[in-house]
Amino acid sequence: MEVDCETPTKGEEEEKRKPIVVILVGAPGSGKSTFCNHVMRVSTRPWVRVCQDTIGNGKAGTKTQCLMSAASALKAGKSVFIDRCNLDREQRLDFVNIGGPQVDVHAVVLDLPAKLCVSRSVKRTGHEGNLQGGKAAAVVNRMLQKKELPKLSEGFARIMLCQNESDVQVAINMYNALGPLDTLPSGYFGQKNPAANIQLGIMKFLKKVDGPSRAGSDANVPQDSIANRISKENDRLPEGPDNGSASLGHAVNNVTDGEELEMGSPGGTVSSCNVPTLAFPSISTADFQFNIEKASDIIVEKVEEFVKKLGDARLVLVDLSHKSKILTLVRIKATQKNIDSSKFHTFVGDITRLSSEGGLRCNVIANAANWRLKPGGGGVNASIFSAAGAALETATKERAVSLTPGKAVIVPLPSTSPLFSREGVTHVIHVLGPNMNPQRPNCLSNDYIKGCEILREAYSSIFESFASIVRTPKNLSMESYEKQVSGLSDSQNHFEISPMDQFLNSELKFKREGVHESGGNKKWKPLQDELGSNSRNSKNRENNPNSEKNGGSMTKSWGFWAQALYRIAMFPERHKNDVIEISDDVVVLNDLYPKAQKHLVVMARAEDLDCLADVREEHLQLLRTMNTMGLKWAEKFLSEHETLVFRLGYHTAPSMRQLHLHVISQDFDSVHLKNKRHWNSFNSPFFRDSIDVIEEVVKHGKATLKDDDRFLSMELRCHRCRSAHPNIPRLKTHISKCRAPFPAVLLQPGHLVCARTSDGLVQ
C-alpha cells in the first residue's frame, strides 16, 4: 500500500491541532445554544458543547462540572464551546485558564438588544434550563445590568463582539469554516462602545426610557475641508489596551463613522451582510498614477449610479492600508451623496483574504489587471494571481488574451483555486484602467479628459459585469457556480432552490457540505466535462405542451450539475471506477456522501425517466428490477454485517436528474449526516418505500407524490421510538443506543431488510 509522504498522518494532524475554547458571553435568549448547534452541525472540527443547564445528566449542574467536562474534552483533542452566560470577568476566569498555553481561548460576545433577548426567552418553550415565560424578563434584566464586556487582558487570544443578528451570522460562518488544523487571527473584532457596557434593561424599555439623545450634537461643529479631514484621519493610528496583533480587514459599514481602522483594533467591526458582494480596488491610482481626487469623484459617481440597479447586492472598495487617502476621500464623498451604507462601504484589508482574515464574505473580486492579462508586476494584480494559483491564469486564457483600457472580462474561478476553496470567491473580474505613468504602456500623458472617460468606462464595466453575475447566476456554470451547488444533496435541493439562493449560500458549498450527487469532488470531475445542456427536456417541452398537466417532470429545468447521474446511467462504461455494477436496465454506485454505514443508489438506465413523477405503468418491470437489485446488495452487505437493517426507497422530489433508488442502512452512522434536512429526507413521508411505490403504480398507474417542504423541516425524531431531540448530535447519541422496535408501518412485509428478526422485524 502506497503512502503519500506529503500527507500528514492522523497522529501528526492531531499533534498539530491546537484545541480552541470558545467562551460564549450573552444573556439568556441571546442565542448561545443556537450558535453552538449551527457550528457543530457544519464544522469539520470536532466540537463539544458544555452547557450548565444540562451538565447533570440532562439537568442543571454546577460550574465545577462544566470545568471538568471541558477539561476532559480538551484532553481528547476536541474544541469546546462554553455555553453559559459568562457575563462577568469572575465567571469567565476559570474557563480562560483551563487549557494553559496549549489552548486558544476565544470569546464570542452575543451583545444583542435586551428587548430581543427577553422576547426570545419569554416566548420559548421546552428550554433546557426552564428559563421561559414571565420570569425570563426579570432574569434577563438583572443579568444585563451586571454585564462586563470581556477584554484581551483577561487572557483571551480573540474576542468577537456581535451586536446584531447579522454579526452573529458572520461569527457562525467563520467558525463553520474552521477546519481541524485551522486557526483564526488574534485581536478584538467588532465595534466596542465604552458607553454601552450596560444595556438598558427590559424593564426600562417597557417604561420607554431612552438613552441620551444625539440629535443636534453635531449641529455646531464646523465642517472641515476634505483635505483637512484626510490629514487628521491619516495621522490617527489605532490605539487601546485591547489591541491585539494586527489582523487584516476593517469594514466601515456606516460611512458616516469618520474612522478607518484595522479590524484588530478596538474600534474594528466585521462586515456582516450575507449578500452577493463585489470587492474592488481603486483602479489606476497606484502604479498607473491617476489623480486620486479625480478618481474618487468617478468612483462615487459610478457607485451612486449602480447601487440603485443591484438590488440587494453590495459594493465594497478595498485598500490594504488604513492610511489610504482614496478610501477616506471616497468615504467622505459618499457620505455627502447620502449613498446607502448597506449597499456600499470601504474596507481595509488584503483583497485575497477578506473572508478568512477579515470576516467579509465576497463572492466576486475585481482585479486591476495589465493589458496582457498576465501575472506579475506588483500590487493587486500580482496578489490576486498569486493567491488564486495557476487555475486563474488558465481560466483567464480561455476567456481572453488581452484587454483594452476601460474594458473588463469575467473569469469564473475554478474550484481548484485557493481563492475559491478558502475565500469563497466564485469570479474574478479583470479590468484595465487608464495609465498616467510614462514608464507603463499606453500612457495618456496627463490627458485627463480622455483618462476620466476611460476610468468611468472601467468602473461601469466592473459593475455591469457584477450585475450580470448576480442577475443571471446560471452563467456561473462549468468551472465555478455549478461546482458550488453540485455539493448539495437530494435532501438539500429537493425543493427547487432558486439560483440566487444558491449563490447567496455559496459559503457553505465551497466547504462541500453536501452529499453524493455531486460534481464538485475531484473524483467526479470527468463527469462534468461530459455534461451538456438539458436539450432533451427543452425539446420535450416543445413537443408536449401538456407534460406539466400529466404530472411528469419534463417542465423541470435540470441544471448542469444536476445531470451527473444521468450521464453515469447512460454511459456507465465511461465511469467504471465509480460504478459497482452495470446491467442492461440499471447501474449501481455507492453514495458519494453516505448518510449511513452502507448507502448506495440504483439508477434506471432509461430515457425520459428523471424522477418518480415520470413513472407510469409501463415502468413497472423496471421498478421491480431496481428493487431486486437493491435487495441483492442489501443481502450482500448483511452477509458481512448481519446486525444491519436496510430500507429501500425514493426521494419524492430529487434534485438530481435520473430516477434512482436509495439503499440505506438504518444505523445512520455517518459524518455526512449533519442537519435536519439530511435526517428528514430519509425519515419522513418525503422518502417513499420502494415496495409502496410499486404497489401504487400497480393500482393507480403512477406513484402518489407528497412533495411538501414541511416534511424536511419537521422536528428531529428517532426513527425507532419516535422520541424528539433538539439537534443532530443529541439525536445521533440517542439512536446509537436505541433498541426500540421500528414503527408498525415499517414492520409490514417488504419495508425493512435484515438478517434476523430478534427486533421483531420482517425480512
624-675: pLDDT as tens digits:
999 999 999 999 999 999 899 999 999 998 878 899 999 999 999 999 999 9
Q: Which residue has the higher pLDDT, 87 or 726?
A: 726
Question: Is residue 528 in some structural domain?
Answer: no
| Domain shared by 235 and 95, yes or no | yes
Helix (H, G, I), strand (E, B) or coil at 91: helix
Could you give the residue numbers annotated as active site?
660
CATH number at residue 209: 3.40.50.300
| Domain shared by 249 and 382, yes or no | no
Q: Summarize the confidence of residues 582-602 as an average pLDDT.
A: 93
pLDDT of residue 436: 93
| Domain shared by 683 and 738, yes or no | yes
> pLDDT band for position 115 (50/70/90)?
confident
User: Would you give the distance in Å from CA 276 to the centre of its chain?
Assistant: 12
| Domain shared by 160 and 289, yes or no | no
| Cross-sheet strand order for the sheet of 314-319 | 250-252, 344-348, 314-319, 277-281, 364-368, 427-431, 408-412
Report d(CA 193, CA 166) in Å as an integer. Answer: 18
Question: Is residue 472 in some structural domain?
Answer: yes
Question: Is residue 674 in some structural domain?
Answer: yes
Going by C-beta distance under 8 Å and a sequence separation of 6 or more, which residues neighbour residue 211? 200
Report d(CA 763, CA 757) in Å as an integer. Answer: 7
Q: Which of 260, 284, 312 is the last residue of a domain?
A: 260
Helix (H, G, I), strand (E, B) or coil at 565: helix
Positive/negative CA dihedral, 344, 346, 351, 355: negative
Lowest mean pLDDT, pick from 161-175, 185-199, 263-277, 474-488: 474-488
Tens of pLDDT, residues 426-443: 999 999 999 999 988 889
Q: Which of 489, 519, 549 is the last residue of a domain?
A: 519
| Domain shared by 339 and 235, yes or no | no
| Domain shared by 580 and 659, yes or no | yes
Alpha-carbon distances, residue 668 vs 627, 715, 718 (angstroms)? 21, 17, 11
Q: How many domains does the chain have?
A: 3
| Domain shared by 44 and 127, yes or no | yes
pLDDT of residue 558: 61
| Domain shared by 583 and 612, yes or no | yes
Going by C-beta distance under 8 Å and a sequence separation of 6 or more, which residues neighbour residue 267? 191, 192, 238, 240, 259, 261
Question: Is residue 49 in some structural domain?
Answer: yes
Nearest to 352 by CA among 424, 437, 457, 414: 424
Place of cell 415502468: 619
pLDDT of residue 144: 75
CATH number at residue 731: 3.30.428.10
> pLDDT band for position 296 (50/70/90)?
very high
Q: pTM of whole model > 0.85?
A: no
Going by C-beta distance under 8 Å and a sequence separation of 6 or more, which residues neighbour residue 262? 238, 246, 247, 248, 249, 250, 268, 322, 348
Tens of pLDDT, residues 617-627: 999 999 999 99
Question: Is residue 526 in some structural domain?
Answer: no
* Beta-sheet pairing, 344-348 with 250-252: antiparallel
Tens of pLDDT, residues 500-512: 333 334 333 333 3
To the nearest 10 degrees (0 to 180), the angle between helices 135-144 and 114-123 is 150
Give yes or no for residue 70 having a pLDDT over 80: yes
User: Which run of H or of E encompasses 688?
Assistant: strand 687-689
Tens of pLDDT, residues 446-501: 999 999 999 999 999 999 999 888 865 433 333 333 333 333 333 333 333 333 33
Report d(CA 165, CA 177) in Å as an integer. Answer: 19
Question: Is residue 104 in some structural domain?
Answer: yes
Give percent of the chain above pLDDT 90: 36
Question: Is residue 40 in some structural domain?
Answer: yes
> pLDDT band for position 261 (50/70/90)?
very low
| Domain shared by 727 and 619, yes or no | yes
Nearest to 126 by CA among 63, 58, 39, 227: 58
Nearest to 585 by CA among 626, 536, 613, 632: 626
| Domain shared by 278 and 233, yes or no | no
Length of the chain, in residues: 763
Expressed as residue numbers, the domain containing 444 is: 274-519
Q: Which of 232, 260, 288 is the last residue of a domain?
A: 260
pLDDT of residue 430: 96
| Domain shared by 253 and 315, yes or no | no
- What does the block give as the cell for 446? 496627463
Mean pLDDT of the chain: 75
| Domain shared by 291 and 369, yes or no | yes
Question: Is residue 525 in some structural domain?
Answer: no
Q: Which residue has the higher pLDDT, 222 or 590?
A: 590
Give yes or no for residue 353 having a pLDDT over 80: yes
